[in-house]
Chain A
Amino acid sequence: MKALFTLAWKSLLNRRASFLLTLFAVALSVALFLGVDKARTGAREGFGHTISGTDLIIGAPTGSVNLLLYSVFRMGNATAEVSWPTYQKLSARDDIAWTVPISLGDSHRGFRVMGTDHAYFEHYQYGRGESLRFAKGREMDDLFDAVVGADVARELGYEIGSPLVLSHGLGKADFGSGHENRPFRVVGILAPTGTPVDRTVIVSLEAITAIHVGWESGAKNPLSDSITEDMIRSFNLTPKTVTAIYAGLKRKGTILRTRREINTNKGEPLMAIIPGEALAELWSVTAMAERALLAVSIFVIAVGVVSILTSILTSLNERRREMSILRAVGARPGHIFGLLTLEAGLIGFGGAALGIVIVHVLVLIAGPIVMQRYGISLGGTGPGMTDLITLLAVTGASLLAGAIPAWAAFRRSLADGLSVKL
């Protein structure tokens, strides 16, 4: 066996160019597969880590995935809102320990604007129970104070004291449709979290009301430009609605009952979701796409393995002589079979191992960038079980694929005998 192994290895080195090309083909296919898998698990973990410590998310009735998407991931829009009195009633419930009201619907140069209050900084947690931290500055205090996420500050070059103009709706601001006369000022910049918070501009709930003064009809009131900042400050800016509410319970055990009670609320219709449950539902939606992506990358691996088969099969003719020499010095047909299978297995093993190395080097290099840009942790925890299983599976598949040329050589070596007609 050791002798065959040595023979197989030396034979591969002898055909270095085709050996290395095939090895690379396998390595790249394995790297693609593992890369897709790491991005997938990374995205899941990233999404799963976007919100923690929040027991319920409450909003107007909609799909639970939809509520989760717009309230936590800033994706899509709320179709209806929750009235302020209802919010107050919810906050006052005995079983609810804390609530965070959030109000969405505006944007600032492509970044979502979220109105909330001090409770957000106190209770919102991400990852494994981490709270928001300020890289610079502090929370909002004045009506026109704004706190920006790390990406917002980086991409727009904001510093403490930078002015910013919020636009109504979600597009990039164009002149005339914005709230130009409502100038905000950056008072705080949050440390990166790897969550959508990084791409959010946070203002007070009152500020959201303020920027809509004169917009009550849904379009800009021609007179609104004449409203001055001081006039706005004198208005009653108590919000009329909020978009969604994060809630923490006093006792986790009551969560199902609390949810049921909120869902069957007598007055205004409401919907409460458990974030983890809604996430699971989201995964069941994305699972199809993930599976398709994984299937594609598995097919790419199959192509890699087939290229092993091809490279060995095409070498067989020129190696016919070699096989009859081996037979002449006493090799049994089984040795010939073993030699070729082993060569395929060596390429598969080497290729898969190289692919694993490539992926981990890439994760090491690109991981921090991906984390910062997309909030996806590529799970750079070194080689894991998936890598090992992939290594074994690719090696196994290569051995199987190698059996095809090995069988051809085996049959031929029986027929050729000692003499090969060249």
Chain B
Amino acid sequence: MPSDTSSTDAIRVENLRFAWPGNPPVLDIKSFTLGRGEKLFLRGPSGSGKSTLLGLIAGVLSPGTGTINVLGNDMARLSAAARDRVRADHLGVIFQMFNLVPYLSVTGNVTLPLHFSPARRKAVGAHPDEEARRLLGRLGLTDPAMLDRRVSDLSVGQQQRVAAARALIGGPDIVIADEPTSALDADARDRFIELLSEEASRTGAALLFVSHDASLARLFDRAVDLAEINTAGVTA
């Protein structure tokens, strides 16, 4: 569900400067773009300001100066509530770990974004649980018994796939993955990225994959090093 088809970029950041109150700037980015449907690897070690950048793109943080355009929405101009709406409707987020709400079932976790976005709920149709199972199946979680397990009983790899299914449900335009594979072993990691890419391609979502591990760059369309585009000079 594109919100502004005139914009060719999913994310466009220009002249962004951001500082936490009373601190030197963490971000100073001239230009950064993510094309629609593009799969981008953003390399950033911890402390490079990547969490702050992702918070800004997701609309959780208030931008400082500059432009952050997400699917044609100028996040700097939107109210906090409107930014929350953009995130709910168009973004899927996968964290490094502990992605799941402990008291919800596997399918409950996957369908969680639908409660906060009528647009994605509509896109999924009348049977969100079926869609959740379909997505989980495509991500290799086919065991029906697993769907009834407590999410805390799942392996980390399984948890990350559930998180991926959640990020993808309802066809968001952008999936942001923040070090989603750092807790996985090499085999599981490559397999996870493969499945995530496949599903993103299928739904047409752009993928912004953030990791400190440069060796993963080969699995993506394009790679950007945050240290290179961010001139705020923060290292710690």
Which A residues fall within an 8 A CB radius of B? 3-4, 7, 10-11, 13-14, 321-322, 325-333, 335, 417-419, 422
Task: Determine if B89 and A330 form an interchain contact, defined as CB atoms under 8 angstroms apart.
Answer: yes
Chain B 39-72 per-residue mask, 1 if CB under 8 angstroms from chain A, else 0: 0000000000001101100101100000000000
Q: State whether A418 touches B93 (Cβ < 8 A).
A: yes
- Interface presence of B102 (CB below 8 A): yes
> Given A321-B98, A419-B178 in contact, is the A329-B58 Cβ separation under 8 Å?
no
A328: chain B residues at CB < 8 Å are 58, 60, 87, 93, 95
- In the complex, residue of chain A having the shortest beta-carbon distance to the beta carbon of B100: A325
- Give the 3 A-B residue pairs with the shortest CB-CB distance, closest first: A330-B88, A14-B103, A330-B116
B52, B95, B117: the one within 8 Å of A330 (CB): B117
Q: A325-B99, A330-B89, A333-B84 are in contact. List 6 more A-B contacts (CB 8 A).
A: A325-B101, A328-B93, A329-B93, A329-B116, A330-B113, A332-B84
List the A side residues contacting B88 at CB < 8 Å.
329-331
CB contact between A10 and one of B61, B80, B87, B103 (< 8 Å): that residue: B103
A419 touches B116 (CB 8 A): no
Would you list 27 pairs from A and B whose C-beta atoms are within 8 A, ordered by A residue? A11-B103, A325-B95, A325-B100, A326-B112, A328-B58, A328-B93, A328-B95, A329-B88, A329-B112, A329-B113, A329-B166, A330-B85, A330-B88, A331-B88, A331-B116, A332-B81, A333-B80, A417-B58, A417-B61, A418-B54, A418-B60, A418-B93, A418-B95, A418-B178, A419-B54, A419-B178, A422-B98
B48 to chain A, nearest CB (A): 13
Whole-angstrom distance between the alpha carbons of A367 and B217 in the complex? 77
Interface extent on B, as a size class? 20 to 34
The answer to whether the Cβ of B202 comes within 8 Å of any Cβ in the partner chain is: no
Smallest Cβ distance from B101 to chain A, in angstroms? 6
Point out the residues of chain A lying under 8 angstroms from B100, CB to CB: 325
What does the 1/0 interface line of B96-108 toward A look like (CB < 8 Å)? 0011111110001
Q: Does B115 contact A (CB under 8 A)?
A: yes
Establish whether residues A335 and B116, one from each chain, have CB atoms under 8 Å apart when the complex forms: yes
A4, A7, A13, A330 interface centre (most CB from chain B within 10 Å): A330
Which residues of chain B have C-beta atoms less than 8 A from A327's C-beta?
Answer: 60
Most buried by B among A328, A417, A418, A419: A328
Which B residue sits closest to A323, measured CB to CB? B101
In the complex, which residue of chain A has the Cβ closest to the Cβ of B92?
A: A329
- Interface-centre pick from A321, A325, A327 (highest chain B CB count, 10 A): A325
Q: Is the CB of A417 within 8 A of B51?
A: yes
- The CA-CA distance from A3 to B102 in the complex, in Å, is 16
Q: Which residues of B contact A332 (CB under 8 A)?
A: 80-81, 84, 116
The residue in B80, B88, B91 that gathers the most chain A C-beta atoms within 10 A of its C-beta is: B88
Interface centre among B60, B87, B113, by most chain A C-beta atoms within 10 angstroms, is B60
Q: How far in angstroms is the closest Cβ of chain B from A338? A: 12
**Is B104 in contact with A419, judged by CB distance below 8 angstroms?**
no
Residue of A nearest to B20 (CB): A415
Q: How far is the CB of B112 from chain A (nearest CB, A)?
A: 5
Q: Considering the chains assembled together, what is the distance between the CA atoms of A422 and B112 in angstroms?
A: 23
A13 surroundings in chain B (CB, below 8 A): 103
Question: Once bound together, how far apart are the Cα atoms of A366 and B101, in whole Å?
Answer: 46
Residue numbers in A under 8 Å from B113 (CB-CB): 329-330
- Known: A328-B93, A329-B116. Is A419-B103 also a contact (CB below 8 A)? no
**Option from B55, B84, B166 in Cβ contact (under 8 Å) with A419:** B55
Pick the residue among B61, B95, B101, B108 that contacts A326 (CB under 8 A). Answer: B101
